[in-house]
Amino acid sequence: MRTTLLLLLLVGLGSTPCAAVEPPAWKAGVASVVITPKTNMWMAGYASRTNTSQGKFHDLHAKALVLEDAHGTRMVMVTLDLIGVPQALRHALERRAREQWKLAPEHLLLNASHTHSGPEFRVGRLPGWPDFQPSPLSDQYGAQLEAQLAKLIGDALKALAPARVSYASARCGFAMNRRLPTPTGYANSPNPEGPVDHAVPVLRVDDPAGKLRAVVFGYACHNTTLALYKFCGDYAGFAQQTLEAAHPGVTALFMAGCGGDQNPYPRGTVELAEHHGRTLALAVEAALLPKPTPLTGKLKGAYATVNLDYATPPSREEFARRAQSKDRYEAQHARHMLARIERDGALPASYPCPVQVLRLGKELTLIALGGETVVDYSLRLKKELAGAGAAVWVAGYSNDVMGYIPSTRVLLEGGYEAGGAMRYSATHPGPWSATLETRLIGRIHELHDQLRRD
Ligand SMILES: [Zn+2]
């Protein structure tokens, strides 16, 4: 036994001068599936819609990339042209991935593009239905999606083949801060002076001969150029489509960043969505030009949920008063909360928000945050983790998109992302407590340190 090992070592050493033909240490597999609803249904993202969808501009996709390091550790990234990832979907896929492929939850990343031109399939979020009642169509879609995603992951695993994996980045400028200070508070309006994150991180996967097979690219901007009645991936869908048309055979996957307070401007037409998509695709092309940084070493992941406290919710009397409000969203939210108090005795005090840290070799750290994180999170994490020697990619809209995750700054400033949006949700009794940024960032640092020690 020992002799064989020694012999193997010697053979291995003997082969080092020919390192130029060394096989790649990685394996990668990619798969894609159309997830456009087959029938028209309520669309997600704008509570003011009054009708169901009427056809499509193009198909919505779910895509999976599986990476395997030299030690056989696997990581699966799934990207979705959808509004978000419901908690129940995350739990179901986690369970399936563990049972079917022995994949650890920390090695599964689900990210939604947050297109507002996809189907509404989240429990309790149907604007056109009274008091957040689910519709049979949305339930059916959700169940079908879960099955499709499980098959998708299986397909990507079957496609595993030797690959070279590297990192690059570029910049793209159409995202603008959308929190404009006015004398009466923060308005949802372009604010050219507000913080932005214009980075376009790119993970590229090539075959051993150097032929491009897949690109994953990120951007921190609401996927809301459009507010129409046709299914569409919005700018992120057009960016993926443009890249796949320019590189036949390549799969392009979009990963939404911390764009909770960022909008694409100008907006409103399908031409503008296409234009922004092409602009972002060009930024990805620019990132592909210089020599990328090859990723070397192990895949490692850490995953946790952070219990984010709500600020003290309104009293039963206050909800009863709001239930009579002329604002139908406020009234609907209050009625729902009163019914929950009746049913459960009390409203929940906190919500478990997922955070995930992935090391893709020594050169890249990918942080995936739950909810609609505002841009402060990516700017802060990139600054604070810069000293660790790896590029830092921060994704939002990952693993459970339960609502906005404001920073302390945004929470104190007030406005839509600070808590105004909570009344559109059946989940949250009201705004978060101001402890959320400290808790989330603290936990991410712990996970990050843990991976560096392992
Ligand atoms: Zn949003």
> What is the whole-number distance in angstroms between the Cα of residue 368 and the centre of ligand 1?
16
> What is the whole-number distance in angstroms between the Cα of residue 7 and the centre of ligand 1?
59
For the cut 80, the answer to whether the pLDDT of residue 14 exceeds it is no
Minimum mean pLDDT range among 11-15, 166-170, 195-199, 420-424: 11-15
Per-residue pLDDT, 1: 42
The two three-digit tokens of residue 246, written as one number:
């320019």
For the cut 70, the answer to whether the pLDDT of residue 165 exceeds it is yes
> What is the whole-number distance in angstroms between the Cα of residue 329 and the centre of ligand 1?
16
Tell me the C-alpha distance between 169 and 199, whole Å.
7
> Mind listing the pLDDT tens digit for each residue in 26-77?
999 999 999 999 999 989 988 888 888 999 999 999 999 999 999 999 999 9
Q: Could you state, in order of their start, the residue ranges of all structural domains in the chain?
A: 26-300+354-420, 315-344
Q: Which amino acid belongs to residue 443?
A: R
For the cut 50, the answer to whether the pLDDT of residue 380 exceeds it is yes
Give the containing element (helix H, strand E) for 394: strand 391-395
> What is the whole-number distance in angstroms between the Cα of residue 261 and the centre of ligand 1?
8
The pTM of the full predicted model, rounded to 2 decimals, is 0.93
Residue owning tokens 């049972």: 99
Per-residue pLDDT, 324: 96
> What is the whole-number distance in angstroms between the Cα of residue 227 and the centre of ligand 1?
13
For the cut 90, the answer to whether the pLDDT of residue 15 exceeds it is no
> At 3, is the pLDDT very low, low, confident or very high (cuts 50, 70, 90)?
very low
159 near 76, Cβ under 8 Å? no
Residue owning tokens 């990120």: 218
> At 125, is the pLDDT very low, low, confident or very high (cuts 50, 70, 90)?
low
Output the average pLDDT for the chain: 92
Q: Phi and psi for 409 in degrees, rounded to 5?
A: -55, -50
Per-residue pLDDT, 9: 40
Per-residue pLDDT, 273: 98
Indicate the length of the chain as a whole number.
454
> Mind listing the pLDDT tens digit for each residue in 169-203?
999 999 999 999 999 999 999 999 999 999 999 99
The two three-digit tokens of residue 295, written as one number:
């990723």
Chain-centre distance for alpha carbon 308 = 19
> Mind listing the pLDDT tens digit for each residue in 262-313?
999 999 999 999 999 999 999 999 999 999 999 999 999 999 999 999 998 8
Tell me the C-alpha distance between 403 and 426, whole Å.
11
> At 123, is the pLDDT very low, low, confident or very high (cuts 50, 70, 90)?
low
> What is the whole-number distance in angstroms between the Cα of residue 372 and the centre of ligand 1?
6
Question: DSSP class of residue 315?
Answer: P
Residue 266: asked if its preceding bond is cis (omega within 30°), the reply is yes
Per-residue pLDDT, 236: 98
Q: Which residue has the higher pLDDT, 13 or 188?
A: 188
CA-nearest of 314, 309, 311, 316 to 339 is 316
The two three-digit tokens of residue 162, written as one number:
């030797």
> What is the whole-number distance in angstroms between the Cα of residue 114 and the centre of ligand 1?
7
> What is the whole-number distance in angstroms between the Cα of residue 122 and the centre of ligand 1?
14
273 near 225, Cβ under 8 Å? yes
> What is the whole-number distance in angstroms between the Cα of residue 399 and the centre of ligand 1?
15
For the cut 60, the answer to whether the pLDDT of residue 143 exceeds it is yes
CA dihedral of residues 89, 95, 97, 100 (deg, nearest 10)? -130
Rounded to an integer, the average pLDDT of 361-369 is: 97
Rounded to an integer, the average pLDDT of 334-357 is: 94
> What is the whole-number distance in angstroms between the Cα of residue 76 and the centre of ligand 1?
25
